[in-house]
């Protein structure tokens, strides 16, 4: 018996009908998702508190995460980051200072964090100000405060450093940290261009240094390093910045022991080191990545001779860390303080800063320990969100960094030729008793460069339906603003 085939016309009609049904279903799903988000935002207006916790791993690209995962959990293990239900990608956007319509392909922390804080791409070195015309950009923390939310900043860096600074200050250059930086002197390094700070002096109608803006600001809690700036005399005042902060309602603390006794009715400024907080880990006896040592014959002809690689090592505790509060302790303190405030909820930025800083210094153990600190802070944030489910947690990086995984023994070394990195390499003995080679080769300068890769963006359950598979960094601002029912970023040219 012959199989009966439908005429082609009928088949096409049925296929078209099926496609229309599918499109209709997808449209209904999209509309349902939009309705759900609209209903949730309406609920924020009516009753429920809502919170945003933004965790930034400075320089935490996929290489850094993989290196840390291998060392902390093993090649088959998973970090806390890996258990989050959403993983997206964030494209870092930087513009040229002289021609803001043109892109620059590698960012610094100031401009990339400004993108997230304000929704506007700017040029390198700027702290929440526009490229070219130097206009202040309203930040998510400022909008949140104006909208009835409490705000907080936690960092393992100097609190006047680029990433924390962009959320709560505005200035032309990230180097304008304290009052002494606002006027160039004969001792000012030629590369620092601190003349850019002059126009932001209070005497010239500006807002003053980053630290002075923090001391006179209204952020509910600021925790990190940077006490050296606050020991300086304030611009247009006889007071130190620390005394000025107290005059503006801050209770000030400088040790981990003081954290449990903080008054939730007062703002908090906690400064736990003169500059950046020390890292938890270091390489054995303070070792960092080192250059391979080729034989004389190999230096004469790359096809001959041999090479001696740096000795393998393990990570160890950094004795300088001492009684420094951990990022988890600072996070727990900030969450407790912000949750006790009246209002609509809160915005909190937490930065694990030395993933980047130790990569600049070619110290993989410092970066790994700092990423472990981020993991502990994330665990605290997730525990808080379990109790307060209207809490959006975002974890991301500001830019890429130099550290790169390479073969311990080159794939091309089988023919007896000495193949080795032209840069610096650290050979770490992992808990799996294998050697992991971490390479640094962006330059031959004492300080490694950032790289121009996109960076990961993670979220908890609250991010589902709100975050696309790929976003630009300025769009992170809009995700946070929408969640808190705050105004979106100002429109800018499409290139941004």
Residue positions forming the annotated binding site for Mg(2+): 58, 161, 163, 351
The DSSP secondary-structure symbol of 301 reads -
3-state secondary structure of 9: helix
As a residue count, the chain comes to 496
Per the CB < 8 A criterion, the answer to whether 182 and 209 are in contact is yes
Residue positions forming the annotated binding site for Zn(2+): 58, 356, 360, 398-399
Burial of 257 (0-12, 13-18, 19+ CB in 10 A): exposed
Look-up: residue for tokens 């962009």?
Answer: 166
Query: CA 158, CA 162: separation in Å to the nearest integer?
Result: 9
Provide the 3-class DSSP secondary structure of residue 261: helix
Question: Quick one: DSSP state of residue 27?
Answer: H
Quick check: is 88 catalytic? no
Closest CA to 220 of 271, 273, 145, 127: 145
> Would you say 322 and 27 are in contact if contact means Cβ atoms under 8 Å apart?
no
| Distance from C-alpha of 173 to C-alpha of 35, rounded to nearest angstrom | 43
CA separation for the pair 67, 25 (Å, rounded): 43
Q: Is 80:375 a contact under the CB 8 Å cutoff? A: yes
- Looking at residue 2, the DSSP 8-state letter turns out to be P
Secondary structure of residue 406 in the 3-state scheme? strand
Structure-token match 């499109």, residue found? 23
Residues annotated within a binding site = 58, 161, 163, 351, 356, 360, 398-399
Do the beta carbons of residue 161 and residue 62 sit within 8 Å? no
Measure the CA–CA gap between 50 and 30, rounded to whole angstroms: 24
Helices 364-387 and 327-339, packing angle to 10 deg: 30
Residue the block writes with tokens 């200035």:
171
Tokens of 154: 């936690």
The span from the CA of 291 to the CA of 288, in Å, is 10
| Inter-residue contact 209 to 178 (CB < 8 Å) | yes
DSSP 3-state of 224 = strand
Q: How far is the C-alpha of 17 from the C-alpha of 15, rounded, in Å?
A: 5
Q: DSSP strand E in 46-189: where?
A: 50-57, 86-91, 94-95, 103-104, 150-158
Q: Which of 90, 109, 115, 354 is catalytic?
A: 109
Q: What are the start-end ranges of the H helices in 47-155?
A: 62-72, 109-118, 140-146
The structure tokens listed for 406 are 């390479």
- Catalytic annotation, residues: 109
């Amino acid at each position: 018996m012959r199989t009966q085939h439908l005429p082609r016309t009928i088949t096409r009609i049925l296929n078209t009908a099926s496609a229309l049904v599918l499109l209709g279903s997808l449209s209904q799903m999209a509309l349902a998702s939009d309705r759900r988000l609209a209903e949730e935002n309406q609920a924020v207006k009516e009753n429920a508190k809502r919170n945003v916790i933004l965790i930034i791993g400075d320089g935490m690209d996929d290489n850094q995460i993989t290196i840390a995962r291998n060392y902390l959990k093993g090649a088959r293990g998973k970090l806390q980051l890996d258990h989050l239900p959403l993983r997206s990608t964030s494209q870092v956007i930087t513009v040229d200072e002289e021609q803001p319509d043109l892109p620059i392909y590698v960012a610094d922390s100031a401009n990339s964090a400004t993108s997230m804080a304000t929704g506007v791409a700017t040029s390198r070195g700027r702290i929440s100000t526009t490229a070219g015309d130097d206009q202040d950009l309203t930040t998510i923390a400022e909008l949140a405060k104006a909208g009835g939310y409490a705000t907080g900043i936690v960092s393992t860096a100097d609190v006047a450093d680029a990433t924390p600074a962009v959320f709560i200050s505005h200035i032309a250059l990230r180097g304008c940290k304290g009052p002494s930086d606002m006027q160039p002197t004969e001792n000012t390094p030629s590369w620092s261009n601190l003349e850019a700070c002059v126009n932001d002096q209070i005497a010239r109608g500006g807002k003053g240094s980053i630290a002075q803006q923090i001391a006179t600001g209204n952020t509910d809690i600021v925790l990190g390093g940077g006490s050296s700036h606050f020991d300086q005399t304030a611009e247009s005042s006889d007071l130190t910045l620390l005394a000025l902060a107290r005059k503006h309602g801050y209770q000030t603390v400088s040790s981990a022991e003081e954290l449990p006794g903080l008054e939730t009715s007062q703002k908090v400024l906690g400064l736990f080191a003169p500059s950046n907080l020390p890292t938890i880990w270091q390489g054995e006896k303070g070792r960092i990545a080192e250059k391979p040592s080729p034989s004389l014959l190999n230096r004469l002809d790359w096809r001959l001779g041999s090479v001696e690689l740096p000795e393998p090592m393990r990570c160890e505790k950094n004795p300088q860390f001492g009684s420094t509060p951990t990022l988890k302790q600072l996070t727990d303190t900030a969450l407790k303080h912000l949750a006790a405030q009246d209002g609509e909820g809160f915005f909190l930025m937490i930065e694990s800063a030395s993933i980047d800083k130790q990569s600049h210094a070619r110290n993989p153990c410092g970066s790994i320990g700092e990423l472990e600190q981020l993991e502990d802070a994330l665990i605290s944030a997730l525990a808080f969100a379990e109790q307060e489910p209207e809490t959006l947690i975002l974890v991301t990086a500001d830019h890429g960094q130099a550290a790169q995984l390479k073969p311990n023994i080159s794939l091309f070394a089988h023919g007896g030729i000495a193949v080795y990195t032209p840069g610096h390499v650290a050979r770490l003995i992992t808990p799996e008793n294998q050697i992991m080679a971490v390479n640094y080769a962006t330059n031959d300068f004492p300080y490694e460069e950032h790289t121009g890769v996109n960076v990961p963006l993670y979220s908890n359950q609250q991010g589902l339906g709100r975050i696309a598979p790929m976003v630009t960094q300025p769009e992170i601002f809009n995700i946070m603003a929408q969640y808190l029912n705050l105004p979106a970023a100002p429109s800018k040219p499409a290139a941004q």
